[in-house]
Amino acid sequence: MNLPSSDPHTDPTARGRAAFELSQQGRALEAERAYADLLRDAPGNVEALNFLAIRAHARGDRGEALRLLEQARKEDAKDLATRTNLGVLYREQGKLEQSLEALSLCLDVPAAESFLPRLRLAEVLQSLGRHQQALPTYFGAIWAAQGRGLWLDGATTPPELTALVLHAMRYVEQGRRALFFSMLNPLRDRYGSTALARVEKSLAIYLGDLTAHYPEPKQRPKFLYFPDLPAPRYFERELFPWYAELEAQTDVIRAEMLAALGEDNGFEPFLGHVDDQSALQDHLRGERGTPAWNALFFYRHGVRYAENARRCPRTVAALDAAPLCRIRDHSPEACLSVLTPGSHILPHHGVTNTRVVTHLPLVVPEDCALVVGGELRRWQEGICFSFDDTFEHEAWNRSGGTRAVMLLDVWNPYLTEIERLALTDLIGAIGDFNRAADV
């Protein structure tokens, strides 16, 4: 059971703050008396009701604990600490459905703020045999807690939670492995295990069962590493026979881009999409003036931007004729990417080497370059190239004009067709699971 934190600048009153401080100092009996005094004058004080319920529970008086917590819920039906404490108490009494109802409130609160009730909720879901729900709920709780430096070891895990946290970790480890490997069964049955050997190895690396051995230290996928592939920084043109058809549309695509730029509508910062947890200055620097890396997206995480597509119909037709990497809610990403004068995209890594990034340069002033894994390349208007963005890479525009390219995701050309089918199913399933876990 847990106690709501006290904010000294708002309610509760000074008496409540004093009682809370006593509890934090381990002076439980004095805190109990202080909260009991407060409750006599303020019968609806939720913090006092929760603390006194915790004390009653510690003495073995579950009936009194339940009475106090139900009173607290009447005062504030959405108080998360109250609902968590009720959920724990109901579960101890074997009232699993009531425990589930009390704890389900935590799903309306981000996992980062509700990892403890989510852990308790997962425990109840497992007891009810709802394993498909319990698994992502356990995972989300662990992920959020560890993101705050908790539940990493004995020193960061409260003793009363140690057994449950260890159980949750074992449950998640076994459950995720079984879930994701089962996604490959239909293809395994159809094509055999040999055809999926590299996919299974990639999944084992993702789950932490195997260690990734990167060909070079500058390659570091942020999400999924697919092993045993050739690992050039830039790929040979011969691997992409469709380049010529796309390059033939350069003038048309450039014209639509310039028209869209002239309207000054639809372009948005590319950053913020890269990593919402990172500050802008971690990704972009202005070597003179304010930097800007903007994009007119046609696809983002596999979602089509219909209004932008309407504004640039011939561009989108050219894109759709290319063999884009299509994975539900993940890819493709396709856009017109604009880098203003003096802007420097700082070194970073992409998410997976299962797909590669293709550029069709449209407007290229002097002194613009891309560096992938330490190898510099300059764009040439109308000439496509593809690179593995899981290598550390950066780009800059040191000219006085704007640089513009069309960017699109395609499959890594060294994957087999069966591997692409398997990855489409597997990555989609991982995404579904992570959304269910609020990760």
| pLDDT at 26 (0 to 100) | 86
Q: Which of helix, strand or coil describes residue 353?
A: coil
Which are the contacts of 98, defined by CB distance < 8 A and separation ≥ 6?
86, 90
| pLDDT at 417 (0 to 100) | 97
Residue 88, exposed/middle/buried by CB under 10 A (0-12, 13-18, 19+)? buried
Q: Which of helix, strand or coil describes residue 304?
A: strand
Residue limits of CATH 1.25.40.10 in the chain: 1-108
The pair of structure tokens assigned to 138 is 């356990």
Nearest to 397 by CA among 363, 365, 362, 359: 365
The pair of structure tokens assigned to 426 is 């597997």
1-108: CATH topology is 1.25.40
Q: Rounded to 5 degrees, what angle do the CA atoms 221, 437, 107 make?
A: 145
Q: Residues 314-367: pLDDT tens digits?
A: 999 999 999 999 999 899 999 999 999 999 999 999 999 999 999 999 999 999
Q: Specify whether the CB–CB gap between 396 and 364 falls below 8 A.
A: no
Residue limits of CATH 2.60.120.330 in the chain: 237-411
Q: Please give the span between the terminal C-alpha atoms of the chain, in angstroms, as a whole number.
A: 25
| pLDDT at 8 (0 to 100) | 41
Which are the contacts of 56, defined by CB distance < 8 A and separation ≥ 6?
62, 64, 65, 68
Which own/partner pairs from 71-76 qualify as long-range (CB within 8 Å, at least 24 positions apart)? 72/46, 73/102, 75/44, 75/45, 75/46, 75/49, 76/46
pLDDT in tens, the chain (439 residues): 655 444 443 455 688 889 888 888 888 899 889 999 989 889 999 999 999 999 999 999 999 999 999 999 999 999 999 999 999 999 999 999 999 999 999 999 999 999 999 999 999 999 999 999 999 999 999 999 999 999 999 999 999 999 999 999 999 999 999 999 999 999 999 999 999 999 999 999 999 999 999 988 899 999 999 999 999 999 999 999 999 999 999 999 999 999 999 987 889 998 754 444 455 567 899 988 889 999 999 999 999 999 999 999 999 999 999 999 999 989 999 999 999 999 999 999 999 999 999 999 999 999 999 999 999 999 999 999 999 999 999 999 999 999 999 999 999 999 999 999 999 999 999 999 999 999 8
| pLDDT at 280 (0 to 100) | 59
Q: Specify whether the CB–CB gap between 325 and 410 falls below 8 A.
A: yes
The pair of structure tokens assigned to 8 is 């000294």
237-411: CATH topology is Jelly Rolls (2.60.120)
Nearest to 191 by CA among 429, 364, 3, 416: 416
Q: Please, which residues bridge with residue 363 across strands?
A: 404
| Residue 335 backbone dihedrals phi, psi, to 5 degrees | -160, 170
| pLDDT at 273 (0 to 100) | 45
| pLDDT at 1 (0 to 100) | 60
Cis peptide before 158 (omega within 30 of 0): no
Q: Which of helix, strand or coil describes residue 265?
A: coil
Q: Which of helix, strand or coil describes residue 50?
A: helix
Q: Which of helix, strand or coil describes residue 336?
A: strand
H/E element, 370: strand 368-372
Dmax (CA) for the chain in angstroms is: 82
Dist. CA 6–CA 3, nearest whole Å: 9
Which residue is listed with tokens 């504004």?
311
Q: In Å, what is the CA distance from 138 to each residue of 65, 97, 148, 332?
A: 26, 18, 16, 30
Cis peptide before 332 (omega within 30 of 0): yes
Q: Which of helix, strand or coil describes residue 67?
A: helix
Dist. CA 324–CA 302, nearest whole Å: 10
